């Protein structure tokens, strides 16, 4: 079929609406996770944990982190797997990949060499789970070799590997520490396994729905072909998003891991937005700040806010507001209102502007 021809303003609006960042704010956490397909987990919490910050950006003041914990641990409506929180209804789309893991000979060889260790971990969880990693003895025969932080972290690696294989699962958290249990006690019994290729296509379709427009490298052949003005090469578009509905935007502060900006090349192509997460950049070389939050205003990404939740000082500290385009009085007021809303949600008495 002939590709859809979109101007960049239309493509941006499709992307913003697909990510639930337009004026029609959602009201239900599970519906948000289902639409986004996942919430990424990251240990950095300069403002708030990423999963919570992404949920707040969509749901606003009504969202509380306890809702996410309840959905994961009590209701089992969501599950945590490989640093992503996903709808439990999508588990069927991941089981085939779990069963085929790991694809790399290095990991396969390590698991085979440590099969007695693997069986010990499964028996230990069966008898006493859920457990923290520190409650599991290191009985590895061959240590895990790495030049990074995982070197000789044998219990952690075994638990991660068994979870990737779908033999065990994350049952919950105590603080930031994960508890582990047998998968059969976390995942719903009788969940069907969708064949791998069919599951991949379904995941691609769901991912495209959450993005609105994306490159084929990201979503395969999902959706329909598109060309976007001012860009080169092919795109895919979610045809359901081309409904002609009028667009109404809002102002939002985004996590650096938010999927609207996560693909930095796409953000540059569609939004003319130049961004990088600078927490690993030496302080003297940072342009925007340690954990600068991108600023969305309607269908444009217009700046970054260098902000930190200072729990000890009981203040949301705003060190800088970087304007990619000159802020109008209306836009300045909207950004300040979002900062005040963020401070209130974090239970910080005030926000301190530069």
* pLDDT score, position 146: 85
Answer yes or no: are the C-beta atoms of 303 and 253 closer than 8 Å: no
Look-up: residue for tokens 């698991």? 111
According to DSSP, residue 141 is labeled: S
Q: What is the pLDDT of residue 350?
A: 66
Q: What is the sign, positive or negative, of the torsion defined by CA atoms of 154, 157, 162, 165?
A: negative
Flag residues of the chain having pLDDT under 50: none
Q: What is the pLDDT of residues 66-123, one digit of tens each?
A: 999 999 999 999 999 999 999 999 999 999 999 999 999 999 999 999 999 999 999 9
CA 142/CA 201 separation, integer angstroms? 38
Give the pLDDT of residue 354: 61
Nearest by Cα to 172 from 70, 271, 58: 70
- Range 279-289 burial, b when 16+ CB lie within 10 A, else e: eeeeeeeeebb
Name the DSSP letter for residue 221: T
Helix (H) or strand (E) holding 272: none
User: What is the separation of C-alpha 293 from the centre of its chain, rounded to a whole number of angstroms?
Assistant: 15
DSSP, res 57: H
């Amino acid at each position: 079929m002939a590709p859809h021809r979109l101007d960049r303003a239309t493509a941006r609006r499709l992307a913003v609406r697909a990510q639930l960042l337009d004026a029609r704010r959602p009201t239900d956490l599970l519906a948000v996770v289902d639409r986004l397909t996942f919430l990424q987990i990251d240990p950095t919490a300069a403002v708030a944990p990423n999963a919570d910050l992404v949920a707040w950006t969509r749901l606003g003041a009504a969202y509380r982190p306890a809702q996410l914990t309840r959905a994961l641990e009590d209701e089992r409506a969501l599950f945590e797997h490989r640093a992503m929180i996903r709808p439990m209804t999508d588990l069927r789309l991941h089981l085939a990949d779990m069963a085929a893991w790991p694809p790399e000979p290095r990991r396969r060889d390590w698991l085979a060499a440590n099969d007695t260790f693997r069986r010990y971990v499964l028996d230990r969880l069966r008898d006493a789970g859920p457990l923290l990693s520190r409650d599991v003895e290191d009985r590895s025969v061959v240590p895990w070799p790495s030049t990074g932080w995982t070197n000789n972290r044998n219990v952690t690696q075994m638990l991660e590997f068994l979870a990737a294989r779908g033999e065990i699962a994350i049952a919950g958290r105590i603080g930031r520490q994960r508890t582990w249990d047998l998968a059969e006690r976390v995942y719903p019994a009788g969940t069907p396994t969708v064949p791998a290729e069919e599951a991949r296509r379904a995941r691609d379709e769901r991912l495209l729905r959450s993005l609105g427009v994306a490159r084929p490298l990201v979503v395969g052949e999902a959706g329909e072909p598109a060309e976007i003005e001012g860009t080169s090469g092919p795109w895919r578009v979610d045809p359901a998003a081309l409904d002609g509905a009028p667009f109404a935007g809002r102002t939002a502060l985004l996590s650096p891991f938010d999927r609207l900006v996560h693909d930095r090349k796409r953000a540059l192509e569609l939004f003319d937005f130049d961004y990088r997460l600078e927490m690993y950049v030496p302080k003297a070389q940072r342009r925007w700040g340690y954990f600068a939050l991108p600023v969305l205003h309607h269908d444009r990404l217009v700046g970054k806010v260098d902000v930190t939740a200072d729990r000890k000082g009981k203040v949301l500290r705003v060190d800088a507001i970087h304007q990619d385009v000159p802020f109008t009085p209306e836009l300045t007021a909207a950004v300040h209102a979002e900062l005040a809303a963020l401070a209130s949600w974090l239970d910080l008495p005030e926000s301190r502007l530069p």
